[in-house]
Chain A
Amino acid sequence: MKKAITYILMIIALFILTYFSINMGNYKVPPGKIVRILYSYITGTETAADITNYEKIIVLDLRLPRIIMVLLVGAGLAVCGAASQGIFRNPLVSPFILGVSSGASLGAALAIVFLVKIYPHSIDICAGIGGAIAVAAAFLTARKPDGSVPRLSLVLAGTIISSLFGSLTGIVKYIADTETQLPAITFWMMGSFGNVGWKTLDIFTWIIPINIILMIIFAWQLNVLSLGDKEASLLGMDIKKWKLIYIYFIVSTVGICVARTGVIGWVGLVIPHIGRAIVGPNHRSLLPMSALIGATFMLVSDNISRVATTGEIPVGIITAIIGTPFFIYYLRKKETSVWN
């Protein structure tokens, strides 16, 4: 009952925030008009005379798609963070800690320099493949011969792989064209929703919410997986199958998020911890709660990035500034129980 109320409050808060996010920005569209614009858009009727075409474009073509993308990416990264902490039995990991971002960056940089002229979607594809390779590399580096993966080793392996892929990205940047390609790589790596429009919300993007829903539906499996390989097997689980399924969900979701909006760190690591503090560790409640908190957090961060200056601060910088102090706090508080 208490849990249900928490969910309802979170959903209401997210709705209100979404609404004001549409209102916010360099040009403020009055809240009353937003409802009418959205209503006419959904029902397909004409808007009243006092709403200008300019306002309609701002709400429908600029802010609405952007905010939908913000919500999807925030929820997606947070749920993937919670799921990866469950399958790796490790509260210190997130897809980015495991190297997804560095691998995706390398893939994207290569695509920007070599492939994008030939095939425009190559950034998405290369970022996804790069991310998957990096996670696999980190996992195999940390894995001991007996199959166990020590918690600290996995974090260190992620760092090592990130550093290696970072240097490789450096080489690509070095040979990139400084007028066009280098700025494209740099901005891509900082993460931003600045270029999101209806075109960004194509069929691949809708894999994100589908994956989120599937991860939530099967969240029970994460509970059992988080007991460890041996115990999960003895309870009857086919651990290889379920790990592969969840790794597919995580890599494809994060891959698409990163491909569309660049590297936006810390959400996947920090949000699940807040979620656990609110609804407890049962993944059946934790995953939906992480999705709600992640979406809210991302929306707040994106609003700051839009409104704080006349230009636009890349949102990845905002999430890092908010996320790192939180993680330091968490490490110091839970030092003994997590690291040992």
Chain B
Amino acid sequence: MELSKNETILSVENLHFAYSSNRYEVLRGVNCDIKKGERVAILGSNGAGKSTFFSLITGILNGYTGSIKLNGQEIQDLDRMQIAESISFVPQKHEPLFPFSVKDFIMMGRYSKIGALGNPTEKDTEAVMRAAEETGAIKYIDRPYSELSGGEIQLAIIARALAQETEILILDEPNNHLDFKNQFTIFNLICDISKKRNVTLIMSLHNPNDVILFAERAIVFNNGVVAADGAVSKILDTKLLSEVFGVNAVCLEEGGYKAFLPQSLKKG
């Protein structure tokens, strides 16, 4: 069943969560609805609860109160396979242990489709090759991925997530460890794919300028609650940056573009 744009795909209501080891609540009543095909940036200072939020909406962490609904179904009631059919995830970093070839590595993205024996069908191989072509990982597809540079590994991980062919793609700081060009390459790539296939992007970002360039909507976390949520052009301003990050910034505008430059730390 294909959802048309504007239909809610992920709905979070009054979400509370505390790690059992301490009583402090990391998330204290988060509400947001994310729609099909939206490109959403999650912003917030370190420790604001972004990673916890990701772990909860991917079903890695359980024991929350409130509700997280994926296509109308509570995430706690879904098994790993059902979640993996809808959500793919690009981790912040991946440490290669065994030197799998890039092709074998991307193929693991097909886990939810390939069957228990891992015999790839033509469809699986096609999906892997398409993801490798789109990301450019095709250039080193037969090399062991432990020999790749940080940027190349990141592209291979994104290729693995694309091979999963899900309607939601979550990326945890996708531009981490990447040089200027590779950051741009990766953002362009995932935005293109989101537009082409109506894939929902949820990405945690640190740099407000990346948010302006690549996201439509920003959800800003502060102290475990959503401090601001809306179209990037409307909500992202110097006042918000000062409130959430404690940084005084200036906003430069030229030729229809906007950029923030940090100036000083907020006192107090």
Contacts and interface: CB of A to CB of B under 8 A. Distances in A.
A56 interface: no
B185 to A, nearest CB: 23
A280 B143 CA distance: 11
B118 A221 contact: yes
A281 interface: yes
B260 interface: no
A237 B99 contact: no
A280 B164 contact: no
A233 interface: yes
Contact of B85 (A91, A220, A223, A236): A236
Interface stretch (B28-36, B75-83, B206-214): B75-83
Interface residues of A, number: 28
A226 interface: yes
Contact of B104 (A89, A223, A236, A237): A223
B111 interface: yes
B1 interface: no
Interface in B65-110: 79-81, 83-85, 87-89, 91, 94, 97-101, 104, 108-109
B52 interface: no
Contacts of A201: none
A230 interface: yes
Nearest to B119: A220
A286 to B, nearest CB: 9
Contacts of B114: 220
Contacts of A280: 99-101, 144
Contact of B58 (A89, A218, A219, A234): A234
B118 A236 contact: no
Contact of A236 (B98, B101, B112, B117): B112
Contacts, number: 72
A236 B100 contact: no
Contacts of A86: 98
B81 A231 contact: no
A145 B22 CA distance: 13
B102 to A, nearest CB: 12
B113 to A, nearest CB: 9
A217 interface: yes
A33 interface: no
Nearest to B170: A234
A284 interface: yes
B60 A233 contact: yes
A188 B117 CA distance: 38
Contacts of B112: 235-236
A217 B58 CA distance: 29
Contacts of A235: 84, 108-109, 111-112, 164
A96 B164 CA distance: 37
Contacts of A218: 116-117
Nearest to A85: B98
B121 interface: no
Interface string A73-107: 00000000000001001010000000000000000
Contacts of B117: 217-218, 220
A237 B80 contact: yes
A221 B108 contact: no
B21 interface: yes
Nearest to A234: B89
Contacts of A276: 98
Nearest to A220: B118
Contacts of B99: 280-281
A281 B99 CA distance: 6
Contacts of B87: 234
A220 B111 CA distance: 9
B161 to A, nearest CB: 9
A224 interface: yes
Contact of A221 (B21, B60, B104, B116): B116
Contacts of A219: 118
A145 B83 CA distance: 26
Contacts of A227: 94, 108
A307 to B, nearest CB: 37
A237 B111 contact: yes
Contact of B84 (A91, A236, A281): A236
Interface string A179-210: 00000000000000000000000000000000
Contact of A231 (B21, B83, B94): B94
Interface string A220-251: 11011011001111111111000000000000
A95 to B, nearest CB: 18
Contact of A233 (B80, B98, B104, B108): B80
Contacts of A238: 79-81
A237 B116 CA distance: 10
Contacts of A237: 80, 111
A282 interface: yes
13 contacts: A86-B98, A91-B97, A219-B118, A220-B118, A221-B116, A223-B104, A226-B97, A227-B108, A231-B94, A234-B84, A234-B89, A234-B91, A235-B111
Interface of A: 86, 89, 91, 145, 217-221, 223-224, 226-227, 230-239, 276, 280-282, 284
Interface of B: 21, 58, 60, 79-81, 83-85, 87-89, 91, 94, 97-101, 104, 108-109, 111-112, 114, 116-119, 144, 164
- The 8 lowest CB-CB distance pairs between A and B, nearest first, are A220-B118, A236-B84, A236-B112, A281-B98, A235-B111, A234-B89, A236-B81, A236-B111
